[in-house]
Structure 1
Amino acid sequence: MDSDDLGLFGPGSVTWKVHGEPILFVAGLRSLYLQALHPRAMAGVAQNSNYRTDAWGRLIRTATYVATTIYGTTAEAEAAGQRLRTLHARMRATDPFTGEEFRVDDPELLRWVHVAEVESFVSTARRAGLALTDAEVDGYYTEQRRAAALVGLSPTEVPGTADEVDDYYRQVRGDLRMTKEAAETALFLTAPPIPWKLSLPARLGVDLGPPRWAYLGIAGTALGLLPAWARRLYGGLGLPTTALSADLSVRALRLALAALPRRYREGPRQQAAKERAARRTAAAG
């Protein structure tokens, strides 16, 4: 294996530019709120996942997978994709309305999750203040077709530009709705259990310490960053954060994160990828 392999993307990609932003943890939460509006996708998660009892563990595993596909070597990214495809291939769920059993790796569901995720990443980064041209946004979507292939999708059937993403959303919106499962998931995402090391002793069983208030602000921002049509589906659920206040909040948070030392802003896979890129540049020079 090439020890300086730069993986599926590399330092010249729009993907590295976007995912170099620590603010994308807000985008990940936004994506989950959006994904919950698809009844079948939500059923697939609810019937095959222990996210309620292991919320933070699942979040860490998802973040690790994304970091591996973005910053890992080609072999690491492909291995991560293979593991995910194998896992999904075993999973089945029941449609909450028709009672029909379906595969979790149904291409339509995989496409929905992929688009909701990548659109959340690039739109959140842009609204937080990352300078991206329209051509770079299109480039990001095109590059992310490589990530779509890892989960088993055909790259040619995944939106590759901003216009194609908009068209896809228009096509799928008729399938989206606020269900009981979506509402319960949104409430859980807004007020998940805080890890015990961060949690303060609660009165009457309710933890309202600083970590809880900080997380509520982040959740409200994520909800406010949703497309207008998605916010309408949620109605008054969640914090009453408008798109404008969400933009202001996410920009302020990005500035605060930028002041942190690099070791807190960049994960180990990102740092390792940058080191490989630097070695390759030095060898070429």
Structure 2
Amino acid sequence: MTATVDVGLFGPDSVSWQLHAEPAMWLAGIRSLYLQALHPRTVAGVVQNSDFRRDPLGRLVRTANFVGATTYCPTGEVHEHAARVRRVHRELRAVDPETGQRYRVDDPELLLWVHCAEVSSFLSVVRRAGFPLTAAHADRYLDEQRRAAALVGLDPDEVPGDVAAMRAYLTARRPLLRRTAGSDEIYAFLHRPPVTGWLALGVRVYEPLVGHLAYSLLPPWATRVYGHRAYPDVVATPMLRGLSGAVRAAQLTARTLIHDPRLGPLVPHPVLAVNRLGTWARPSARRLPS
């Protein structure tokens, strides 16, 4: 490696580089959508502006691609992706269904909630899946993710940068969170997305193995707000680890086959980063900083 290599926003020596390549990130992403939807204004912004009913997988894939791009792309591409997201959010408005007040979806309070729901879900689920993160790694990850928060327009100094600060933030937000018609719609959608064709054949498998499992990875207070029973921990954790292991095995099989980003809507950013930088940059628990 030379000093001129552009390793992106975080680089291969970061916690983010290792954590974001883990297969449990898929369940973590869905878990974060459940959590985000408990904020009434956040979920109203999604329901009123998103095309998720017509494009069931679109939002999850776009979120995964954005996280992948900001983690693994060269710095210039990272800022291009971020500028597009900010430009879209800048134009969006929503109406509070309770007060009738019109508001911007890029309100910093809402952006901060979405960021914290995402990164706390990523950290919680990947650790629960067995990824060997220490307390120091967890703090470092949240500190790194302040850079990602800045990309969507947040002041990094106002974003929780360690586990204690994140826990305090989430605790402070709990009185604002509640079950609404919007959260019920997201709950139903994430359990049984309205896909058609051959994808519809997999919904019966998806619902218990992905949709409800991701829901069950929420903290108990969140499932109480939703009012639906979750899998007990003694069921959810082995399911999470088994599913993550199966996906990891599939990734290892497919890794050498992926050389081009033009493979469809989901871009394999970690693999493309290794193709660009070399095998030394391959994400691994063994590369976690000491």
Structure 1 length normalisation: TM-score?
0.89
User: What are structure 1's unaligned runs of at least 5 residues?
Assistant: 201-209
Q: Answer yes or no: is the 8 Å Cα contact 1:14–1:140 preserved in 2.
A: yes
Q: Which amino acid aligns with 2:112?
A: R
Cα shift at 1:214: 3.4
Cα shift at 1:261: 4.3
Inter-partner Cα distance in structure 2 for 1:93 and 1:30:
23
Number of residue pairs matched by the alignment: 269
2:32 aligned partner: 31
Q: Answer yes or no: is the 8 Å Cα contact 1:11–1:277 preserved in 2.
A: no
Inter-partner Cα distance in structure 1 for 2:121 and 2:233:
14
Inter-partner Cα distance in structure 2 for 1:264 and 1:98:
50
Q: Answer yes or no: is the 8 Å Cα contact 1:191–1:216 preserved in 2.
A: no
Aligned structure 1 segments of 4 or more residues deviating by more than 6 angstroms: none
Inter-partner Cα distance in structure 2 for 1:109 and 1:39:
10
Cα shift at 1:3: 8.5
- Residues 118-146 of structure 1 show CA distances to partners (whole Å, capped at 9, x for unaligned) of 01111110000000000000000000001
The farther-off stretch of 48-57 and 169-178 is 48-57
Q: Answer yes or no: is the 8 Å Cα contact 1:111–1:153 preserved in 2.
A: yes
1:250 aligned partner: 240
Q: Secondary structure, in 3 states, of the residue corresponding to 1:149? A: helix
Identical counterparts, % of pairs: 47
Q: Answer yes or no: is the 8 Å Cα contact 2:193–2:203 preserved in 1.
A: no
Distance of aligned partners of 1:230 and 1:81 in 2 relative to their CA distance in 1, 3 Å threshold: same
The farther-off stretch of 242-251 and 69-78 is 242-251
Inter-partner Cα distance in structure 1 for 2:251 and 2:169:
39
Q: Answer yes or no: is the 8 Å Cα contact 1:5–1:276 preserved in 2.
A: no
Superposition map of 1:23-62 within 5 A:
23-62=24-63
2:262 aligned partner: none
Q: Answer yes or no: is the 8 Å Cα contact 2:192–2:203 preserved in 1.
A: no
Q: Indicate yes or no: 2:59 matched with 1:69.
A: no
Cα shift at 1:95: 1.0
Cα shift at 1:30: 0.3
- Residues 56-79 of structure 1 show CA distances to partners (whole Å, capped at 9, x for unaligned) of 123222221111111111111111
Structure 2 length normalisation: TM-score?
0.87
Superposition map of 1:1-285 within 5 A:
4-200=5-201, 210-236=202-228, 240-262=230-252, 264=254, 268-278=268-278
Distance of aligned partners of 1:151 and 1:110 in 2 relative to their CA distance in 1, 3 Å threshold: same
The farther-off stretch of 59-68 and 163-172 is 59-68
Q: Secondary structure, in 3 states, of the residue corresponding to 1:199? A: helix
Inter-partner Cα distance in structure 1 for 2:16 and 2:207:
27
Q: What's the RMSD between the two structures over aligned residues?
A: 2.0
